A and B are shown apart, each in its own frame.
Chain A
Amino acid sequence: MSHSDTIPLHPSSQSDIDEIENLINADVHSVTVLPARPPSPPRVSIPISHSPSPLPPYQKVPPSASPPPVVPAVPAAAAAPAGSSRIGISSDAFGSPPDTLTEPVWDTVKRDLARIVSNLKLVVFPNPYREDPGRALRDWDLWGPFFFIVFLGLTLSWSASAKKSEVFAVAFAILAAGAIILTLNVLLLGGHIIFFQSLSLLGYCLFPLAIGALICMLEGNVIIKIVVVSITLAWSCWAAYPFMSAAVNPRRKALALYPVFLMYISVAFFIIAID
């Protein structure tokens, strides 16, 4: 690292830098250096954990793959190995920032896909953490909801025999605006949720309905369509229930849940009726 400097260092600085470099190259848990700036999670007060099994948040340092908008201005004093560095607490101050800008596109896509899958597993499928809604979507993202909404719109539009673009527009508008309005509804009722986390959750709960729409597109019989859509509708409502009901005062639970069910029922009806 001193080879990149053109300014000759004071001998005491050199020894300091050497000492720090030794600390960095040593194992993480023995670091006693305080961070120059504590790594702040980029989102609202929820620490990011990347593993599908949620660990207590402060045990595991986010690996270099987590998106840090906190790019320190301190130039690289030590050339940290890109991509796989496990430099601990002080990576922002001493090492080079984790290289998400120069990593291959496939890595980025793979990371986002892994996050979508893990969020999906947490929200839609039975898992032991469902009772704690705050943990369910710690690592929320909006890519998953976006994919599901667009997929649902496209499927409905494909199934429709007339006015295809209008069908897509209506479906997209209902789902997107509906998610925002439902979140605002909970906030207005005095509930405690985080806006984007709720948007994310409502989008992920569309996954069963998206599957139902796909099956209905391939299948023509009305009875089968009704059965399939009813099952997926129940699944979606079951997925959204713990989060929404925990967010508000118990006396207003029905007030917060009814609009969610209304939106999912209207989408389900749309799926059945489009042929």
Chain B
Amino acid sequence: MEEGYTSLPTSHLLGSVPAVIAEEKPSAGASQSLPANLQVFPPGNGGYIPPESPLGGEEQAANNWKGFCSLSSYTPYFNVDTDVVVDRIISSVYPMDEFSRKIDGSPDLYGPVWISATLVFMLAALGNYGTYLIRKRSEPNGDWEFDVSYVDWAACVVFGYAVAVPAAFYFLLQYFGLNANLVRLWCMWGYSLFVFIPASLFLVVPSEIFRWIIIILAGSASSWFVYLNLKVSTEGSDTRPLVVSALVLQFALALFIKIFFFS
């Protein structure tokens, strides 16, 4: 079986150290040659724009874009450890200013994806459980059946919101001339949904007043989180209607969750 390897074209190089050939990516222009502190042009729609002082690792991330279908081009966005994710989740619940600093270096997509998935499951499961409790209170011998359409609705609403709204804001911010990073927006909106997970646990209690209080609290916390972080990202005053509309949208999502799943 060893014979196969001697027919490779580099077999004559065995034992010698091959010369390092500096590879220049021709498409990125002249700024490519100095790796240290220049902005690298984003390689595509979901490209990662490093902040003003990029670390060495982020240069690698931007240069490793191999296209939309290659898995390795998405790996930099999942480069987080358990404690990092837990830390970000905790700081998303308290709408203080620290979250932006935490994701400054490396926004991750792990949080948004799995927080959204958990929220879908929670809404579908607990929404059904809520209707079960209400049905048992009103007619103890009535029959209740599991409504599968809750799963479909939850999936469409949560994933649609988490994907489409940050993308829309990305395009709007670009239109207004502000430099926005799509992955950061996705990350931030994804983590903002975390508050609804414990809220949906409380929403099971079959008391209308209690449910409204809970959802107003959760909606306010989440909207305030989005507002603060968006303000940090934009830093401009004439995008105020944009930021306010983000706040309103988040609150609308909270109301929709209450009205559709828990009433």
Interface residues of A (CB under 8 A from B): 38, 160-163, 166-167, 170, 184-185, 187-190, 249, 251-255, 258-259, 262, 265-266, 269-270, 273-275
Contacts and interface: CB of A to CB of B under 8 A. Distances in A.
Contacts of A273: 125, 128-129, 146
Contacts of B83: 251
A254 B78 contact: no
Given A163-B149, A259-B114, A262-B114, 15 more contacts: A161-B143, A161-B145, A162-B145, A163-B148, A170-B148, A188-B75, A255-B110, A258-B114, A262-B118, A262-B121, A269-B125, A273-B125, A273-B128, A273-B129, A273-B146
B208 interface: no
In this complex, the interface size class of chain B, counting residues with CB under 8 Å from chain A, is 20 to 34
9 contacts: A38-B1, A184-B71, A188-B78, A252-B82, A253-B82, A255-B82, A262-B117, A262-B121, A270-B146
Nearest to B128: A273
Contacts of B82: 251-255
Given A170-B148, A170-B152, A188-B75, A252 B81 contact: yes
Interface of B: 1, 71, 74-75, 77-83, 85, 110, 113-114, 117-118, 121, 125, 128-129, 143, 145-146, 148-149, 151-152
A259 B75 CA distance: 17
A166 B149 CA distance: 8
Chain A CB count within 10 A is highest, among B117, B128, B148, B149, for B148
**Which 8 pairs between the two chains have the least Cβ-Cβ distance?**
A188-B78, A251-B81, A254-B82, A273-B146, A266-B121, A166-B148, A269-B125, A162-B145
B117 A259 contact: yes
Given A262-B117, A273-B125, A189 B146 contact: no
B85 to A, nearest CB: 6
A167 B75 CA distance: 34
A15 B117 CA distance: 70
Contacts, number: 65
Nearest to B143: A161
B125 A266 contact: yes
A190 B75 contact: yes
B110 A189 contact: yes
A33 B75 CA distance: 47
Nearest to B109: A188
A166 B145 CA distance: 13
A243 to B, nearest CB: 18
Contacts of A269: 121, 125
A60 to B, nearest CB: 19
Contact of B71 (A170, A188, A251, A259): A188
Nearest to B146: A273
Contacts of B110: 185, 188-189, 255
A124 to B, nearest CB: 24
B156 to A, nearest CB: 13
Contacts of B121: 262, 265-266, 269
Contacts of A188: 71, 74-75, 77-78, 110
Contacts of A254: 82
Contacts of B117: 259, 262
B193 to A, nearest CB: 15
Nearest to B144: A275
A61 B41 CA distance: 54
Contacts of B114: 258-259, 262
A188 B80 CA distance: 10
B81 A255 contact: yes
A14 to B, nearest CB: 28
Chain A CB count within 10 A is highest, among B75, B78, B128, B143, for B78
Chain A CB count within 10 A is highest, among B1, B79, B117, for B117
Nearest to B74: A188
A174 to B, nearest CB: 8
Nearest to A256: B82
Contacts of A190: 75, 78-79
A255 B125 contact: no
Contacts of B113: 185
Contacts of A163: 148-149
B145 A255 contact: no
B159 to A, nearest CB: 12
A125 B129 CA distance: 33
A275 B129 CA distance: 13
A170 B151 contact: yes
A157 B19 CA distance: 63
B145 A275 contact: yes
A254 B146 CA distance: 31
A35 B201 CA distance: 65
